[in-house]
Amino acid sequence: MDNVEPKGAAHWIDHFVVGTNDIVAWTDWAVNGIGLTRRPFRGLTTASRKKNMKIICFLWWEGGSCRIGAFLQPEIYPPAKELGQELPRCGFYIRPEDIAMHLRRLDRYKIPHTDPVKTTAEGDEGTAIYIADPDGNQYEFWAPAQMPEGAMEIATDEKVGRISHAVYGCRDLAKTAAFFEKYCGVQAEQNSKTAEGTLVLRLRAGARLIYKLVDKVDERVAGHGPWWDMHTALTVREEEFFPNYRRMWDGLPEEETDKANANLSIEQQEALPARTGLHRSPVGLKWKEICERGDEFYDWDAHAFHFIGGMPLKDGSLALYQPKEQEEYLRELAESLKR
């Protein structure tokens, strides 16, 4: 880590969502492996099935400012790459002194994992344990040499802290760096220890977005049919939520047709530019109706993101925050339009 204070709009990764072919097995994995508390699935009632609603599960850390989710996919995933190689990948903070305890738990539940690996390749010094869920989605337990404030304050029952970083494949690092600089104010980190072909975008509170130079778009991304809705949510200050979206809406094109109806080939999907688009949730549909713009945004490599608001819990910093969901912003927006 260098000593330049990170700038930009995004403070943390609030949530990370994967696809699954077996939502029950994924939830068991998250309860056993991460220590999250089980919650009901959405979409698994007859009424929901009659409306063809999506089958999804979100699991929250205590306090609500971090979560992971899984959406049941319409097709079976192809096999994932070997552990530590599949992208996108999501990391969670753990304390270095707890590494042995985490390894014992992973073994107890037969969760595939690597040995601990010391690394500085992705901008921070620390130890990583690469793990996989039953669908082959990959994650890391990340024990950094320097723990940022807020990283472990909302740990799960099994002492797994909040999301530390997310790693994505990228065909053009300079283009992606320019995208995040322009729309999120985040500058590419300069660090001599970072591996070749790696772009590190440090968020203000300490989490990182990391892009690795690859030839092909990651398979498991929302902008890639037939998969849907895997995404990352970035925490921005409550009052900067709309200004951030306005900057994107001013500078980026809106997708011409939402993915479900666009009928594009994989090559056409991969050639789409960074853009905003429909967030296919009840709130997202309403959002697009009101604003005529989507509240989801895509980078140049088909990864989907959205913003979420954060309200500081102490000292004005977002090290610890209470989230403000899109529903609340949407209500405010609808009210303001009525006036």
Residues found near Fe ion in the complex (CB under 5 A): 233
Position with the least CB separation from Fe ion: 233
Tell the burial category of 187 from Cβ atoms under 10 Å away from its Cβ (0-12, 13-18, 19+): middle
Q: Measured from the CB atom, is 233 or 236 closer to Fe ion?
A: 233
Q: Measured from the CB atom, is 14 or 122 closer to Fe ion?
A: 14
Q: Is the dihedral of CA 249, 254, 259, 260 positive or negative?
A: positive
Q: Measured from the CB atom, is 58 or 242 closer to Fe ion?
A: 58
Q: Measured from the CB atom, is 127 or 232 closer to Fe ion?
A: 232
Q: Measured from the CB atom, is 66 or 233 closer to Fe ion?
A: 233
Pairing assessment for the beta strands 163-170 and 231-237 based on DSSP bridges: unpaired
Least separation in angstroms between CB 248 and Fe ion: 16
Least separation in angstroms between CB 154 and Fe ion: 18
Least separation in angstroms between CB 274 and Fe ion: 18
Cis bond before residue 226 (omega within 30° of 0): yes
Tell the burial category of 83 from Cβ atoms under 10 Å away from its Cβ (0-12, 13-18, 19+): middle
- State whether residue 29 is helix, strand or coil: helix
Least separation in angstroms between CB 272 and Fe ion: 20
Q: What DSSP line would sit under 286-329, residue for residue?
A: HHHHHHSS-SEEE-TTS-EEEEEEEEEEETTEEEEEEEE-HHHH
Least separation in angstroms between CB 15 and Fe ion: 6
The candidate with the shortest Cα–Cα distance to 88, out of 152, 147, 163, is: 163
